[in-house]
């Protein structure tokens, strides 16, 4: 199998889960916050797993021409998503975490709305390159990999921890009957 064919398969596989995440966030206005967070909680580990598997690739010669176009096409996503998610999540939005657990001792504040909007934004860069601009798969893979390691990976890990605490402290452990109902309502078919 050629490297180009293999890279097309890798980009296609990652595109599927990136699209699922972006579609989920786009559907957030029609979901209650628990339903949204359960869906994100179930999806983030797979998204992280696929991102970790993205190989190091060389950029195509077209990348320098296409990347600014991709940035312009998705420039308003964060401005649209962040306020909607902040309102949707309400008092579940804010959480505390340590930015660099290998060095920092003091907790900082984070918001799930910013985490989800930033993940969406960074995934869209590669999706736009792949789908709208029809860039070579290496450009999408390179973009997704770079942004995972430099930005959205941290947001995904922090969000996953915060969502875990929210769902299980609030719903499953403090309200056992409600927890059973939520577990059955939001479980896989």
As averages over each run of 10 residues, the pLDDT of the chain (189 residues) reads: 78 96 97 94 97 93 68 66 96 89 86 96 89 84 95 96 88 51 49
DSSP of 64-101, one letter per residue? HHHHHHHHHHTTTHHHHHHHHHHHHHGGGSEEEE-S-T
- Would you mind telling me the total number of residues written for the chain in this entry? 189
Output the pLDDT for position 114: 96
Per-residue pLDDT at 76: 65
Determine the Cα–Cα distance for residues 117 and 155; give it in Å rounded to an integer. Answer: 10
State the pLDDT at residue 172.
Answer: 60
- 7: domain CATH number is 1.20.120.1550
Residue 181 φ/ψ, nearest 5 degrees? -65, -45
Question: What is the spatial distance between Cα 81 and Cα 25, in angstroms, rounded to a whole number?
Answer: 8
The domain tally of the chain equals 1
Rounded Cα gap, residues 70 and 126, in angstroms? 8
Quick one: pLDDT at residue 38? 92
| pLDDT score for 189 | 47
Residue 180: give the domain boundaries.
3-185
pTM: 0.84
**Spacing of C-alpha 119 from chain mean position:** 4
Alpha carbon distances (Å) from 108 to 29, 99, 101, 137: 28, 7, 11, 37
CB 112 within 8 A of CB 95: yes
Q: Give the other-Cβ count within 10 Å of 45's Cβ.
A: 11
Phi, psi of 3 (to 5 degrees): -60, -40
């Amino acid at each position: 199998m050629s490297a180009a064919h293999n890279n097309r398969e890798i980009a296609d596989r990652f595109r599927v889960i990136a699209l699922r995440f972006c579609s989920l966030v786009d559907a957030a206005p029609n979901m209650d916050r628990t339903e949204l967070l359960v869906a994100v909680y179930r999806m983030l580990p797979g998204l992280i797993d696929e991102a970790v598997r993205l190989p190091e690739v060389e950029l195509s010669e077209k990348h320098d021409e296409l990347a600014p176009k991709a940035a312009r096409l998705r420039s308003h996503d964060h401005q649209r998503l962040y306020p909607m998610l902040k309102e949707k999540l309400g008092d579940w939005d804010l959480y505390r975490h340590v930015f660099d657990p290998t060095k920092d001792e003091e907790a900082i504040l984070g918001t799930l709305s910013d985490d989800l909007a930033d993940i969406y934004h960074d995934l869209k860069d590669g999706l736009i390159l792949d789908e709208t601009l029809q860039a070579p798969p290496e450009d999408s893979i390179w973009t997704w990999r770079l942004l995972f390691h430099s930005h959205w990976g941290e947001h995904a890990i922090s969000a996953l921890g915060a969502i875990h605490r929210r769902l299980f402290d609030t719903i499953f452990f403090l309200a056992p009957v409600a927890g059973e109902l939520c577990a059955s309502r939001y479980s896989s078919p």
